[in-house]
């Protein structure tokens, strides 16, 4: 058993390192058979062991973390990964780390399956209106060890019933690549594509091309013109999704035609 575990970790890591064509992302890779949470692991890595682009992957997570304090069901077969970013861009643009991660995931899904997934603000990737990937961004810019950790939970080769059984009624239903595509996907290749594309989009961010990121994100979303309910942590706002603002907020038109900007913490469901 121990040998099999070690084999998974080293085979995954070696194959991924061989495949990657990046300059900085994935130069340091940690792969585990099992972790409580790749996000916690990446957050806790000392500065010397977490250069920009460091990747942490687990075959399964025991205490996977989702947004807004939720848990994240993470059995074997999914892609559970956290990436350390040492930001060289303005703190005002942090919200766009989740935009670039979502774009990267959408590109990788298309490459692997030919399925065009759709993005839902702030950070979900959907197929047929169901969530296939969630993104969690932890930011620590206070200490000397300034870093952003981007966590990706991609339901790849698993059954959605494993996840849906745990969801509350108001959450978007989950789907998986296995169910949408009809086959299992090679997780190393999928990881390689995501990491390649994250580096590609990260270069937009570090060169200040935020408007380009927003435009690309919008092209990959079909939220606009739809009626939605947004819960921003304080109140439920009903209206039509109109646009994404230059600071990454969601712009809604309310029933009385007034415009409301929703910042990052909003959670959107369609009516
Ligand atoms: C969401 O709630 O939509 C975000 C889910 C993010 C889950 C990923 S899985 C890899 C990383 N490790 C965690 O514990 N969470 C993130």
User: What ligand 1 atom has the least distance to the C-alpha of 65?
Assistant: 14
CA of residue 48 to ligand 1 center, whole Å: 24
pTM: 0.95
pLDDT tens track for 189-221: 999 999 999 999 999 999 999 999 999 999 999
What's the pLDDT band for 180 if we cut at 50, 70, 90?
very high
Q: Is the CB of 60 under 6 A from ligand 1?
A: no
Say whether pLDDT at 109 is over 60: yes
What pLDDT score was predicted for residue 2? 60
Of 1 and 98, more confident: 98
> pLDDT digit string (tens) for 220-246?
999 999 999 988 778 889 999 999 999
The token duo for 86 is: 């040492």
What is the pLDDT at residue 269? Answer: 72
**Is the pLDDT score of 77 beyond 80?**
yes
CA–CA gap between residue 90 and residue 146 (Å, rounded): 12
pLDDT band for position 3 (cuts 50, 70, 90): low
In 141-226, the DSSP E strands lie at 147-154
pLDDT tens column, 47-76:
999 999 999 999 999 999 999 889 999 999
What pLDDT, on the 0 to 100 scale, is given for residue 173? Answer: 93
Beta bridge partners of 61: 35
Q: How far is residue 48's CA from residue 217's CA, in Å, rounded to a whole number?
A: 33
Predicted local confidence at residue 263, as pLDDT = 84
Residue 1: predicted pLDDT: 58
Query: Which string of b and e fits 5-29 if b means at least 16 CB within 10 Å?
Result: eeebbeebbebbeebbebeebbebb
**Separation of alpha carbons 59 and 81, rounded Å:** 9
Q: What is the pLDDT of residue 68?
A: 84
CA distance 266 to 48: 35
Q: Is residue 72 lining ligand 1, measured as CB closer than 6 Å?
A: yes
User: Measuring from atom 9 of ligand 1, which residue has the nearest CA?
Assistant: 153
Shortest-distance Cα residue to atom 16 of ligand 1: 151
Q: pLDDT-based confidence at 266, cuts 50/70/90?
A: low
- Rounded distance between C-alpha atoms, residue 107 and residue 203, angstroms: 16
Task: Single out the residue of 126, 197, 132, 203 nearest to residue 163, CA to CA.
Answer: 132
> Which residue minimizes the CA distance to atom 2 of ligand 1?
66
> What is the per-residue pLDDT for 150?
97
What distance in Å separates the CA atoms of residue 61 and residue 75, rounded to the nearest whole number? 7
Among 49-63, 134-148, 163-177, the range scoring the smallest mean pLDDT is: 163-177
């Amino acid at each position: 058993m121990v040998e099999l575990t070690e084999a998974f970790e080293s085979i995954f890591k070696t194959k991924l390192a061989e495949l990657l064509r990046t300059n900085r992302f994935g130069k340091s890779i940690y792969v585990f058979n099992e972790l409580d949470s790749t996000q916690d692991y990446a957050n806790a890595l000392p500065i010397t062991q977490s250069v920009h682009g460091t990747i942490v992957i687990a075959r399964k997570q025991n205490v996977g973390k989702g947004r807004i304090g939720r848990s994240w069901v993470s059995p074997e077969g999914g892609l559970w990964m956290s990436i350390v970013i040492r930001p060289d861009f303005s703190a005002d643009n942090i919200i766009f780390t989740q935009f670039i991660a979502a774009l990267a995931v959408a590109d990788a899904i298309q490459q692997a399956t030919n399925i065009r997934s759709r993005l839902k603000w702030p950070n979900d990737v959907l197929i047929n209106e169901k969530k296939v990937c969630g993104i969690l961004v932890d930011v620590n810019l206070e200490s000397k060890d300034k870093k952003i950790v981007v966590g990706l939970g991609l339901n790849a080769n698993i059954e959605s019933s494993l996840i849906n059984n745990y969801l509350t009624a108001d959450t978007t239903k989950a789907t998986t690549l296995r169910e949408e595509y009809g086959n299992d996907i090679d997780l190393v290749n999928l990881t390689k594509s995501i990491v390649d594309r994250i580096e590609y989009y990260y270069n937009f961010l570090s060169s200040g091309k935020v408007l380009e990121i927003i435009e690309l994100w919008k092209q990959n979303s079909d939220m606009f013109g739809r009626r939605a309910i947004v819960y921003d942590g304080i109140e439920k706002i009903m209206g039509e999704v109109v646009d994404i603002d230059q600071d990454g907020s969601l712009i809604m038109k309310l029933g009385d035609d007034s415009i409301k900007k929703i910042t990052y913490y909003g959670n959107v469901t369609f009516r």
